[in-house]
Chain A
Amino acid sequence: MTDTTTETHVRPEFVVERLEAARDVDVERRLSLFERISNVNAVRKLTILLGLVVLWEGYTWIGKVEPLLFPSFSASASVLWETLLSGLMLEKVWITVYVLVLGYAAGLFLAAALLTFAVMTRIGSDFLSTMTAMFQPLPAISLLPLAMLWFGLGVPSLVFVTIHSVLWAVALSTHTGFMSVSETLRMVGRNYGLRGIPYVFMILVPAAFAAILTGMKVGWAFAWRTLIGAELVFGAASGEGGLGWMIFERGDNLETPYVFAALFTVIVIGLIVENLIFRNVEIGTVQKWGMQR
Chain B
Amino acid sequence: MATGSEPAAGTAGTTPAVPAAPVLDVDGVTLQYKTKEHLITATYRVGFQTYPADRFVILGPSGCGKSTLLKGIAGYLHPVEGEMRLKGNAIRDPGPDRCMVFQEFDQLLPWKTVMGNITFALLNGGKCKSQDEAREIAHEYIRKVKLERFEDTYPHMLSGGMKQRVAIARAMSMEPDILLMDEPFAALDALTRRQMQEELLQLWDDTRFTVIFVTHSIEEAVIVGSRILIMSPHPGQVKAELNAHLHTHDDVGGEGFMALQNRIHGMIFADRVLEEETQPQHA
Interface string of B108-143 (1 = CB under 8 A from A): 011100000000110011100000000000000000
Interface string of A169-206 (1 = CB under 8 A from B): 00000000000001011011011111000100011001
Is the CB–CB distance between A193 and B95 below 8 Å? yes
A194 to B95, CA, bound (A): 9
Is the CB–CB distance between A289 and B100 below 8 Å? no
Chain A nearest Cβ from B175, distance in angstroms = 13
**Which A126-156 residues have a C-beta within 8 angstroms of B?**
none
Q: What residues on B are CB-neighbors of A289 within 8 Å?
A: 110-111, 154, 156
Q: What residues on A are CB-neighbors of B94 within 8 Å?
A: 187, 190-191, 193
Is the CB–CB distance between A191 and B74 below 8 Å? yes
Q: What residues on B are CB-neighbors of A285 within 8 Å?
A: 111
Is the CB–CB distance between A206 and B109 below 8 Å? yes
Q: Does A291 contact B (CB under 8 A)?
A: yes
Q: Does A239 contact B (CB under 8 A)?
A: no
Q: What residues on B are CB-neighbors of A203 within 8 Å?
A: 109
Tell whether A187 pairs with B111 under 8 Å between CB atoms, given A193-B126, A289-B156, A290-B157.
no
**Which A13-54 residues have a C-beta within 8 angstroms of B?**
none
Q: Does B151 contact A (CB under 8 A)?
A: no
Interface size, chain A (Cβ < 8 Å): 21
A37 to B106, CA, bound (A): 41
Q: Does A288 contact B (CB under 8 A)?
A: yes
Q: Does B104 contact A (CB under 8 A)?
A: yes
Please pick, from B74, B98, B106, B125, the residue contacting A182 in the complex, using a CB distance under 8 A: B106
**Which B59-91 residues have a C-beta within 8 angstroms of A?**
71, 74, 76
Q: Does B99 contact A (CB under 8 A)?
A: yes
Is the CB–CB distance between A185 and B107 below 8 Å? yes
Q: What residues on B are CB-neighbors of A187 within 8 Å?
A: 71, 74, 76, 94, 100, 102
A288 to B96, CA, bound (A): 29
A194 to B110, CA, bound (A): 17
Is the CB–CB distance between A188 and B125 below 8 Å? no
Residue in B closest to A188 when the chains form the complex, CB atoms: B107
Residue in B closest to A199 when the chains form the complex, CB atoms: B124
A33 to B38, CA, bound (A): 68
Q: Does A209 contact B (CB under 8 A)?
A: yes
Q: Does B155 contact A (CB under 8 A)?
A: yes
Is the CB–CB distance between A191 and B110 below 8 Å? no
Please pick, from B98, B106, B111, B125, the residue contacting A209 in the complex, using a CB distance under 8 A: B111
A188 to B98, CA, bound (A): 11
Is the CB–CB distance between A191 and B100 below 8 Å? yes
Please pick, from B102, B104, B106, B124, the residue contacting A202 in the complex, using a CB distance under 8 A: B124
Chain B nearest Cβ from A25, distance in angstroms = 37
Please pick, from A188, A192, A198, A207, the residue contacting B102 in the complex, using a CB distance under 8 A: A188
Is the CB–CB distance between B124 and A193 below 8 Å? yes
Is the CB–CB distance between A184 and B102 below 8 Å? yes
A193 to B93, CA, bound (A): 9
Is the CB–CB distance between B109 and A188 below 8 Å? yes
A187 to B155, CA, bound (A): 18
Is the CB–CB distance between B121 and A192 below 8 Å? yes
Chain A nearest Cβ from B162, distance in angstroms = 14
Chain A nearest Cβ from B20, distance in angstroms = 28
Please pick, from B104, B106, B120, B154, the residue contacting A192 in the complex, using a CB distance under 8 A: B120
A106 to B104, CA, bound (A): 38
Residue in A closest to B94 when the chains form the complex, CB atoms: A190
Chain A nearest Cβ from B114, distance in angstroms = 13
From A182, A193, A288, residue with most partner B Cβ within 10 Å? A193
From A191, A289, A291, residue with most partner B Cβ within 10 Å? A191
Q: What residues on B are CB-neighbors of A185 within 8 Å?
A: 106-107, 109
Please pick, from B99, B104, B110, the residue contacting A291 in the complex, using a CB distance under 8 A: B110
Chain B nearest Cβ from A253, distance in angstroms = 52
A211 to B89, CA, bound (A): 41
A182 to B105, CA, bound (A): 11
From B93, B111, B120, residue with most partner A Cβ within 10 Å? B111
Q: What residues on B are CB-neighbors of A198 within 8 Å?
A: 124
**Which A245-293 residues have a C-beta within 8 angstroms of B?**
285, 288-291
From A198, A202, A288, A289, residue with most partner B Cβ within 10 Å? A289
A188 to B71, CA, bound (A): 12
What are 25 A-B pairs with beta-carbon distances under 8 A? Answer: A184-B104, A187-B71, A187-B74, A187-B76, A188-B102, A190-B76, A190-B94, A191-B95, A191-B98, A192-B96, A192-B124, A192-B125, A193-B94, A193-B96, A193-B124, A194-B124, A207-B109, A207-B111, A289-B154, A289-B156, A290-B154, A290-B156, A290-B157, A291-B110, A291-B156
